[in-house]
Amino acid sequence: MTVTARASRARPPIQRWLVIWVLALAVVLVVFLLQERLPWAVNYPAEAVVPVADWVSALMGWIKSNLSWLTRSITAVLSVPLDFALNLLAKNFKFGHGADAFVLPRLSWVGVCAAAFLAGYSAGGRKLGMLVGGCFLYIALFGQWTSAMLTLALISIAVPFCILTGLFAGIWAWRKPRAERLVVSPALDLMQTIPTFAYLIPMLLLFGNSPVSAMIATAIFATPPMVRATMLGLSRVPLEIGEFSDMAGCTARQKLWRVLLPSARPTLMVGVNQVIMLALNMVIIASMIGAGGLGYDVLLALRALKVGEAMEAGLAIVALAIALDRLSQAIAHKQAKGNVHGSASPGFWRRYPNLTLAIVILVVTTLLGVFVPAFAAVPKAITFTTAPLWKAAVNWVTINFFDIIEAFRVALILNVLNPLRAFCEGFPWLGAVFLLGLAGYQLSGLRLAALVAGLTAFCAITGLWEKTMATVYLCGISAFIACLIGIPIGLAAARSDRFEKIVTPVIDTLQVLPSFCFIIPVVMLFRVGDVTAMIATVAFAVVPAIRYTNHGIRQVPPALIEAAKVSGCTPRQTFFRVQLALALPEIMLGVNQTILMALAMIIICAMVGTRDLGQEVFIALSKADSGRGIVAGLAIAFIGIVADRLFNAWTAKARARLG
């Protein structure tokens, strides 16, 4: 009697939640079944839609008409360095007009390739030099030079801007914890969850269809990791180092710039690497609002369904991405080496031999370009094109495997995608608000519940419920499949070092590729539609599932595994009861990241004809309808924030339980 009494006293919290969940689901089911009587609870009534989109449009219109002096002066200021970079790398400097204009040539492609090799060589040795130089040479030989240099010019101006802004914002947030909590942190969350497309619309409206607006959009999108890296880096500097600087008599400024920031350099450099990669990703997408460059080539080719050309430009993006990533990572990890005899040699040439050499080569080859055309532009004779090859390959696949692919596609649509979509789109909005709020309450408390329910309700009351659920369905199924593939791969990698050695470079490469690149090969095989979107999204979002699972399993302390073995666990028991159990929070973090990445990708897949919020933004972009685009963008961001907060709350709870 007493035993059962004690047991039931210990169990209630879980049992109570079980009962509550069963009741809640029953209520939602009843609401769904009674949709004849309660139509307003299932489909949000059209007459009650809050016209947030109109308000935003009105606001943007006001800004456009009243603040044009501001936007124009910003454009004027920013176009100076931007034009310089564009002229230097891609176009030519022209002074004067017409036939008698004096033309100063752009940097010679030979020189840039050599400089790329030298940069790689000085940062990471001969191997890296070959890789980076090879990537640039590839771009040149495959006829993508001018486009790639346009893209690079935009990045080279946007990145320093992001780094400086991010650094100062990060320092400010680090100094003022209140500002961090109330302003910086929420702003960063929003900046990173709003889909890239949604940035473009206000930029298009305010700054027009130009490289400047593309650059501003890029800067906004790529700054958050630098802010975070700065805050993290500064807070990780050992306390004693800060105390040392005080004891040495540093002023506040000396302490920050000469002690704390240099000590935080490794973390800051990780931020720089992320800024570069995000900027590349965004510059590609911003080709829709006039960035030009490689992204624009892909876009044009995709619109015309020229798969060969799209693939070529896509591969050039890949080459550029790999070169920039490996180079910036090598610089981040490079540590100065001490030497016994070392003394700072006096001359610039002696101190920076590679840099001097690169400058000399650039100047010489560029000057040569004035006389020898082969140095100025890549000669047609030595370029290749693989477009016909890709086209032939696709044709061959479609001719020979059309039936199989088509059968697979149709089966997937009919049996999986369509029923799921119908279920999601028919889900009562009130029920979703209620259930998500309940989950938030169980995981964290009233504040999370209110946040989650509020954000969900926003999607409904702005009249976007059906499109929101279409996004949730496509994102959900893609993330689910990505986890289904990624977690087992991660588990396998964690158990075998050899397998991990194979997997790591693959996921490293997948991670640096701009999202655009994933669409191209899939479109070739599956044409446009939900299936293409799903497959591209799975490929894009699988990385964090693999990475976090592997890391989670591997970080289980060896002492615990030994303890399990000593207490007589079989390998199977050790794996399931100890390693997996302890790695679960980390794995769930990976799932969370997978969902967020899937969401970002699904939106981009609007280009291949999905019918969700992404399409809403895409249409708004083509119509320059800022209200519609921003509201849809916010709805997407809110989906991401709801998923992220719920998962984080769950993980925090699980972590607290594991101690």
Residue 96: other Cβ atoms inside 10 A: 9
When asked if residue 347 is in the footprint of another protein (CB under 8 A), the reply is: no
What distance in Å separates the CA atoms of residue 281 and residue 294, rounded to the nearest whole number? Answer: 11
- Region of 335 please: left (phi>0), alpha (psi -120 to 50) or beta: beta
When asked if residue 341 is in the footprint of another protein (CB under 8 A), the reply is: yes
When asked if residue 4 is in the footprint of another protein (CB under 8 A), the reply is: no
Smaller CB distance to another protein: residue 244 or 423?
244
When asked if residue 258 is in the footprint of another protein (CB under 8 A), the reply is: yes
What distance in Å separates the CA atoms of residue 439 and residue 56, rounded to the nearest whole number? Answer: 31
DSSP tag of 104 = E
Candidate residues 248, 304, 581, 652; the one interacting with another protein per rule CB under 8 A = 248
Smaller CB distance to another protein: residue 14 or 336?
336
CB of 445 to another protein, least distance (A): 24
Candidate residues 24, 38, 130, 241; the one interacting with another protein per rule CB under 8 A = 241
When asked if residue 240 is in the footprint of another protein (CB under 8 A), the reply is: yes
Smaller CB distance to another protein: residue 98 or 249?
249
CB of 250 to another protein, least distance (A): 5
Smaller CB distance to another protein: residue 337 or 572?
337
Residue holding tokens 């060896």?
558
Residue holding tokens 């969370």?
592
Is 219:211 a contact under the CB 8 Å cutoff? no
DSSP tag of 413 = I
Candidate residues 226, 259, 320, 534; the one interacting with another protein per rule CB under 8 A = 259
| Residue from 68, 314, 381, 366 nearest 205 by CA | 68
Q: State the binding string over 299-338 for another protein (x if CB under 8 A, else -).
A: ------------------------------------xxxx
**Backbone torsions φ then ψ of 103, nearest 5 degrees:** -110, 125
When asked if residue 262 is in the footprint of another protein (CB under 8 A), the reply is: yes
| Residue from 601, 644, 613 nearest 458 by CA | 613
CB of 252 to another protein, least distance (A): 9
Smaller CB distance to another protein: residue 55 or 244?
244
Residue 356: other Cβ atoms inside 10 A: 15
Candidate residues 250, 355, 364, 405; the one interacting with another protein per rule CB under 8 A = 250
CB of 10 to another protein, least distance (A): 32
Tokens of 383: 């370029």
When asked if residue 340 is in the footprint of another protein (CB under 8 A), the reply is: yes
When asked if residue 343 is in the footprint of another protein (CB under 8 A), the reply is: yes
Number of residues that this document lists for the chain = 659
When asked if residue 243 is in the footprint of another protein (CB under 8 A), the reply is: yes
Q: Any bridge partners for residue 103, and if so which?
A: 94
What distance in Å separates the CA atoms of residue 86 and residue 89, rounded to the nearest whole number? Answer: 5
Residue 316: other Cβ atoms inside 10 A: 25
Write the single-letter amino acid at 492.
Answer: A
Candidate residues 339, 371, 373, 568; the one interacting with another protein per rule CB under 8 A = 339
Smaller CB distance to another protein: residue 337 or 498?
337
Candidate residues 247, 381, 559, 566; the one interacting with another protein per rule CB under 8 A = 247
Pick the piece of the chain touching another protein (CB under 8 A) from 39-47, 252-260, 627-635, 643-651. Answer: 252-260
What distance in Å separates the CA atoms of residue 469 and residue 420, rounded to the nearest whole number? Answer: 10
How do the residues of the chain divide into helix, strand and coil, expressed in percent and rounded to 5?
A: 85, 0, 15
**How many residues interact with another protein (rule CB under 8 A)?**
26
**Strand 93-95 vs strand 102-104: parallel, antiparallel, or unpaired?**
antiparallel
Write the single-letter amino acid at 258.
Answer: R
CB of 267 to another protein, least distance (A): 12
Pick the piece of the chain touching another protein (CB under 8 A) from 237-245, 275-283, 590-598, 608-616. Answer: 237-245
Q: Give residues in contact with another protein (CB under 8 A).
A: 238, 240-241, 243-244, 246-251, 254, 258-259, 262-263, 265, 335-343
